[in-house]
Structure 1
Amino acid sequence: MLSDVFIQISPLDITKELIDYWWSFPIGFLLFVLGYFFTHPDKIAIWSSIISGLFEKLSKRSARHSVSSDIQSRISSYIKNNKSDEILPYGLKFKWVKDENFSSYVEEKDVIIIMDYHNNNAKNFVNAIGQYISQAFIPTVRHEIPQDVLIAAELVMQEKIIQEKRPDALDTFRNEVLPTKIANNVNIEQFRERFKKLDIIGFFDNMFLTEIVFAGSRLQDLIENQRKQEIENFITFIENIPDESKPLDFSGNVFHVWITLVAKQFKKDYQGTAPYVKRAEEAYSKKYDSLYVTGRDQNMDFVNDVISDIKTHGIGYLEWVRDFKTRDKKRKKKIAKMALFRL
């Protein structure tokens, strides 16, 4: 008798009962909803609007998260790939506010961008980059840089990031951002063109911005006209580096830089690395701040030897070694190597 009871309530029967029990809820609820709308047709539009609004809200939230994650990943990738963490040391976060114009502020080493969602993701990227650069670009010294120089440098940096990480947004940047920034300001456009030429040979961020970050705080000791003159003289010096007939050292009020251009391979067999080590020792003895050693792809091994021997002789501190893109005198694309020693 007792066994019959156990047989009647076997696990299989219990499972079936539970399934039937749980299925009855959604079916019952569905029948209730259909009955409600059948007897209250005037409520259909109201509930349809509520449900539609809920899905739209969830969809917008998802779209905003997707946009912010995409922008964050592209900027982080650019900084990592180009070793720009000193030039752009801040992270990036978003606050989405309806009908809000773009604005930004810094909070604990992050740029917080306040913006409203736009269906055009290229436009979102351009606007976000503009706000990010306005806060994160050389933050420790940006207030010491003359305004037209700073704006020109920011524009070049924005265009570099967009071109590398979101080229479909270039037209938006060039048609909507550039005209408003350079309108009626010849100085900004002139500095921008000069910076773009420095960037073509790989010296804009690898040398100019690197030295701005390193020594730019000293600009505060100069009056505004002296600041601009110091920076302009330094730009001219960098522009002339490919011309080996020009001086390869700069000693101004703020910037003290020594350049070593590594010669072609045949000179290695004739003189070796000794002349380059000697020049590095001279730069050190004359109390220059920075020694840049650079050469192009046809003599990359020799460049490595020069860098290694300078380091072995204990001349200063080797801060970094980078490969970068440049162009020769015939404007042909080349790969070059550069090392920075702090003396």
Structure 2
Amino acid sequence: MTEFLAIIKALGWPGAFLFTIYFCVKYPDKIQIWISLVQRYFGNRSLKYERKSISNEIEGRINLFAKKINSEVGNIFPYGIKMEWVEDSSKGFDREAFRKKDQVIIKMKHHTNQDRNLSVAILEYVSKGLIPKGRLYVSKNIMKSIDFKMVHKILLSNRSYSAVEYFSDHILYPEVEEVPEIKKFLEKMHTLDDHGFFASILLFELMILGKKIPQGIENVRKRVIAEVKDFISFLDNIATSKPGEEAELHFIRKEIRVSLLLVARSEYFGYTKNYLWRFGRNLEEGCERVYIASTGTNIKFAKTVSSEIENKYEVEKSLEKTLNVMNRKGDFTKGSNKSKRLF
């Protein structure tokens, strides 16, 4: 907000007016969050303004996160969010969520605990809006672990630490303690996220599954559910392998056909031939996508490898992402994921 006011002062009022219009069109979600702050002031005097403030803040923060991760990974959140507060006297009603056109509509009772409102709203949105077609091919408990991990990421991205605490204590922990499989796979999701595999590989592949597989064929769905479970174990094995340990780097099944090309061997620096050969092997094995992953000082060389692959083979870069990840020594550093789609 301070930077915004400084820009207005520097431009003068005519320029500031045009800039404000541009900013509102370009960043409607940030404007919505700012409006919620103003409404919060009046919320001390009116329940109507208080509720509007909360819904604007929730909608703005979720939409902002969804647009950011979609721009980095792909359209894993194809829907926006719309909050509606409901006065329902029935004891059984607490909230409901459903998709309507291009939005997830969340109807819920207002609660005086704002951390609860935020946690519940985000969970409802994620359970309906995250990879809506791809989630059909993930078992119930594993999908819950994915949803829980994503809710945690959204809350952390907003620095909503008190809401993280509420979510952990009142929603997450009771369920993971009751269902061991959710706990087991939630730990895997944390590991995959630490290594940059959660969104840019796992969720990206699940999104593609939702697009390519016809719905309504139950025997196919059951087969793919088992395949996805194995794929998660495949990624987890790579993420948890220690320096010097060999891990399987290609996963070739009926629906998921991918490989990881880890650019991490210092003795290969300056010599791309080994990586080009391995990429060629991936082609022969039937891979549809190859993820080139590297960390720290390896990233620059990985970009060279990626460029030479593009020059030699008929491929298309699907995504490129740099993020903080854990390397195989257990240290956090900059990491890079690049996906090559093969023709």
Q: Shorter-chain TM-score: what band?
A: 0.7 to 0.9
**CA separation in 1, counterparts of 2:335 and 2:110?**
41
Q: Is the 8 A contact 1:138 1:213 kept in 2?
A: yes
The alignment's C-alpha RMSD in Å is 2.4
| Per-residue Cα deviation, 1:96-126 (whole angstroms, up to 9, x for no partner) | 2124621111111100111232232211110
Aligned residue for 1:257?
258
Q: State the match for 1:145 in structure 2.
A: 138
CA spacing shift, 1:120–1:184, aligned 2, 3 Å: closer
For the residues of structure 2 that align with 1:241 and 1:331, how far apart are their CA atoms? 13
Larger Rg: 1
C-alpha contact 1:322 1:337 (8 A) present in aligned 2: yes
SS at match of 1:318: strand
Tell me if structure 1 keeps the 8 A contact 2:261–2:275.
yes
Query: How many Å apart are 1:251 and its aligned residue?
Result: 0.6
Q: Does structure 2 retain, via aligned residues, the 8 Å contact 1:262–1:295?
A: yes
Q: Which of residues 60, 67, 73 in structure 1 aligns to 2:54? A: 67
For residues 238-262 of structure 1, what are the alpha-carbon distances to aligned partners after superposition, in whole Å with 9 as ceiling and x for unaligned? 1222435122111123211111111
Separation in structure 2 between the aligned mates of residue 281 and residue 325 of structure 1, nearest angstrom: 29
State the distance in 1 between where 2:268 and 2:162 align: 45
| SS of corresponding position for 1:208 | helix
CA gap 1:265/1:184 in 2 versus in 1, 3 angstroms: closer
Shift of 1:58: 7.8
TM-score, normalised by the number of residues in structure 2: 0.76
Q: Counterpart of 1:311 in 2: which secondary structure? A: helix
Deviations 1:15-46 (A, max 9, x none): xxxxxxxxxxxxxxxxxxxxxxxxxxxxxxxx
Which of 86, 98, 105 is matched with 1:97 structurally? 86
Read off the aligned partner of 2:84 and give its amino acid letter: K
The equivalent residue for 2:76 is: 87
Tell me the distance in 2 between the aligned counterparts of 1:221 and 1:291: 29
State the alpha-carbon separation in 2 of the partners of residues 138 and 328 from structure 1.
28
Query: What is the distance in 1 between the residues matched to 2:47 and 2:155?
Result: 25
CA deviation string 1:46-94 (max 9, x = no partner): xxxxxxxxx9898222222211121122112222333355222210011
Q: Distance in 1 between matches of 2:167 and 2:49?
A: 26
Which residue number in structure 2 is paired with residue 50 of structure 1? Answer: none
Give the match for residue 324 of structure 1: 323
Q: Percent identical across equivalent pairs?
A: 25
Unaligned runs of at least 5 residues, structure 2: 1-41
Which residue number corresponds to residue 114 of structure 1?
A: 107
CA contact (8 A) 1:323 1:337 kept: yes
Task: Determine the structure 2 residue equivalent to 1:131.
Answer: 124
In 2: Cα distance, 1:80 partner to 1:112 partner: 17
Residue 291 (1) aligns with residue 285 (2): no
The change in CA–CA distance for 1:222 and 1:281 in structure 2 (over 3 A counts) is farther
Structure 1 residues without counterparts, runs of 5 or longer: 1-54
Report matched runs for 1:155-194 at 5 Å: 155-165=148-158, 166-194=160-188
Task: Give aligned pairs, total.
Answer: 287
User: What residue in structure 2 maps to residue 281 of structure 1?
Assistant: 280
Q: TM-score, normalised by structure 1?
A: 0.76
Can you list the C-alpha shifts for 1:288-335, whole angstroms capped at 9, x where unaligned?
A: 111101111112211111111212224321111100221123321111
1:209 aligns to 2:203 (yes or no): yes
Letter of the aligned partner of 2:295 in structure 1?
R
